Chains A and B, each alone.
Chain A
Amino acid sequence: MSRAGTPRGGVLRHAPGLTLGLFLVPIAAGLVGTWLPAFGYLPALGGTSLGFESWRALLNHTSLPGAMRLTLTSGILASALSLALVIAFVASCHGTRLYRRLRRALTPLLAVPHVAMAIGLAFLIAPSGWLARLISPWASGWTTPPDVAIVNDPYGLALAFGLVVKEMPYLLLMTMAALGQAQADQRMAVARALGYGPVVGWLKTVLPAVYAQIRLPVYAVIAYSLSVVDMAMVLAPATPPPLAVLILRWFNDPDLSLRFLAAAGAVLQLFTVILAIAAWNLSERVVMRLGRRWIVEGWRGGGGGLARHMAGGAMSLLYAVAGLSVAVLGIWSLAGRWRYPGAFPADISFGAWTRHLHDLLWATSTTLIVGLAAAGLALALALACLENERRRALRTTNRALWLLYTPLLVPQVAFLFGFQVIAVRAGIDGTWGTLIWSHVLFVLPYVFLSLAEPYRALDERYARAAMCLGATPNRVFWRVKVPMLLRPILIAFAIGFAISVAQYLPTVFAGGGRFVTLTTEAVALSGGGDRRVVGVFAFVQAALPLLAFAAAFAVPAWIFRHRHALRLPS
């Protein structure tokens, strides 16, 4: 037997186990630590016997029906709209200039944290927001903000809209990535040759293959939309709030006995997500059965011009809303006097920046430390797993992918409390290590997923050629693979950093309330009145990930400026 076929590279062999353990153990422990109090067991607060009291209290709580309704309508609406928009856009606009342009502009859209987007959106669409100011009073006749609840509306429509602005880009990215594997071009060529129009042809031949690839991301979007806390605190109504916000409120209540109620709510949150995904799965089957009939009935469809205009218009509008939302944060942070309905501030002032400089620097450093550490750790683990997979020629299974998605499918609020309880018992709560660890849970899946494809796509013969030149596997890794993959590696790092910057609940729970990041500060301030201060924190929060992405593109471009083959294709 050849030695090359036997496992080598000692430490690396433990990388997958270590990685899985690092994020499955806290989730499992966190779930147990949440479930026990939900049934009355939490000795630290005097709960020593199991029972259903907290469930009775939860199910009879006056806020529950409203909270559930709000959660389900906004969450399902946001997921369905995001998916419908992505499918409509890709089906009707693939191959157009708009498609290529919006694809290039996708990265900044993904980079902006949820909270910053939510705050910017509120500044934009509120009755006293920028849009109202831009059309007042000359078009609208308003000299004071109209009295309608656009933001914090009772149906959660503003929240659903905010979720679409942030979740649609993620689904779009995953869909575009799936097109290659689905051999979309070949399928389309066949369909077109058989006389199918571009839109109907795409829906009939490409979508079935693409949907199979984006099913897990869609479930992640559903789970996220049904359990989002930070965006909901900005955009959703407060009485009652969506379920996840209600639970957080109970967890943070000075009355410690409400912890039991909160824990039961967290379990309910988990079941809500599981049931919603199950229901979605069921509707998938129905749609697929109906779709198959539609596919074979022979209808070719037309040129799709109308669909192209509508989907392209809707998508462009969302991009514009996202861009304006970030812009308005910057404008407010620099606004001096800005009386309604002026379209722009009367003067510029750095007052908000200078007055809060100390807090700003403090929160920014914490955000940077946690973000860089979590992204770095996740990157190291992902690289170790991928390199181990290569050296031992392992194949990834579907089950491994589900495991990787666990932190994205289990609602944060359903296990982070338990994680905190256990961290307190272990005496590691409120430490830097625990805080970073809690971020790695959510950073790692994205880092791994973004790095896996380019890593696996790297021509293995480069490594073989290097080994035959006498290079050890470690030398091959550092001198051949890392430089050749520098761009995807840095992009994966930037993604991880952006994910970490956006985290709210992990910082609140694992940080034990001891750490203030840009995100926690922005959320805390968003309840208050001064848009200038909120603008400062939310703007910096949005700017950090954008800078990280800019660096991830610029650094390799500069290093390899004389290396033609590694330069950007576009």
Chain B
Amino acid sequence: MSAALESYQGSLVLRGVEISLAERRLIGPLNLSVAPGEIVTLMGPSGCGKSSLLGYLCGTLDPAFRGAGQVMLGADEISTLLPERRRVGILFQDDLLFPHLSVADNLAFGLPASVRGRPARRARIEAALIEADLEGFADRDPATLSGGQRARIALLRTLLSAPRALLLDEPFSKLDARLRDRVRRFVFEHARRNALPSLLVTHDPADAQAAGGKVFEVGPG
């Protein structure tokens, strides 16, 4: 699927990125580069600050933590931008579909305003749903869907927002084993097809293996 509005060829580069909590360094300094279409995995135990690192990259780091270091997306330094300007897509452990919106409205929330006009927006959403084998789900209540369907819609929502990079915060850990594999393939396939530099944090070695890219260990010790 070519959901990304403007195809964007740029690597995600971290230079000297650190996360600390109350003067104690949790992560870093981290230097790494993720090429478009590449999926880099950061492995570490839970509570080591992996999620905070992703929060720093997309600008929503909990103020209790401190983040430092350069984050380049292509030629742009994004760590000084407001979160909504960074165009960094993220998937969390939970799908976080908005419970007050239908499936289509959730997707429309992600679709940039530059796609104008009701019919055009609706068409984009329908196309995305068809592409994900979810045709006819537009007016459904997210609460009535299965975990796998919700996970796929969460990814579609992120992709429709035309991100320039994709962050994955253990998005498969809450799915049961049978689903996990399918959703994982679905996400990775779309990340590669959209040429998104993707950063996956996980503590599950199977995730790292499936990503098939470089693997870094993070955290203290």
Contact = CB atoms under 8 A, between A and B. Distances in A.
A392 B59 CA distance: 14
B63 interface: yes
A196 to B, nearest CB: 35
B165 to A, nearest CB: 11
Interface stretch (B27-35, B94-102, B177-185): B94-102
A484 B60 CA distance: 20
Interface string B84-97: 11111110101010
A49 interface: no
Contact of B67 (A2, A465, A469, A484): A2
Contacts of B58: 464, 467-468
Most chain A beta-carbon neighbours within 10 Å: one of B55, B84, B112? B84
B173 to A, nearest CB: 15
B118 to A, nearest CB: 17
Contacts of A8: 82
Contacts of A562: 102, 141
Contact of A564 (B83, B143, B157): B143
Contact of A1 (B55, B68, B112, B142): B68
B56 interface: yes
Chain A interface residue bracket vs B:
20 to 34
Contact of A565 (B60, B66, B82, B143): B143
Interface in B126-171: 141-144, 157-158, 161
A3 B98 contact: no
Given A2-B79, A5-B61, A393-B64, A461 B109 contact: no
B59 to A, nearest CB: 4
Contacts of A377: none
B109 A464 contact: no
A227 to B, nearest CB: 42
A539 to B, nearest CB: 37
A461 B97 CA distance: 11
A569 B102 CA distance: 20
A180 interface: no
A479 B109 contact: yes
A467 B59 contact: yes
A564 B140 CA distance: 10
Contact of B141 (A4, A479, A480, A563): A563
B23 interface: no
A4 B92 contact: no
B7 interface: no
A465 B84 CA distance: 10
A3 B81 CA distance: 7
A318 interface: no
A468 B87 CA distance: 7
B190 to A, nearest CB: 16
Nearest to A562: B141
B62 interface: yes
Q: Which are the 5 A-B pairs with shortest beta-carbon distances?
A: A564-B143, A565-B99, A393-B63, A565-B143, A483-B100
Given A464-B60, A562-B141, A564-B141, 19 more contacts: A2-B56, A5-B66, A467-B59, A467-B83, A468-B88, A468-B89, A469-B89, A470-B112, A471-B84, A471-B109, A472-B82, A472-B84, A473-B84, A479-B109, A480-B98, A483-B100, A563-B99, A564-B143, A564-B144
Interface of B: 55-56, 58-64, 66-68, 79-90, 92, 94, 96, 98-102, 109-110, 112, 141-144, 157-158, 161
25 contacts: A1-B68, A2-B56, A2-B79, A5-B67, A8-B82, A393-B62, A459-B96, A461-B94, A462-B98, A464-B58, A467-B84, A468-B86, A468-B161, A469-B89, A469-B110, A469-B157, A470-B84, A470-B161, A471-B109, A473-B84, A480-B98, A483-B98, A484-B98, A562-B102, A565-B142
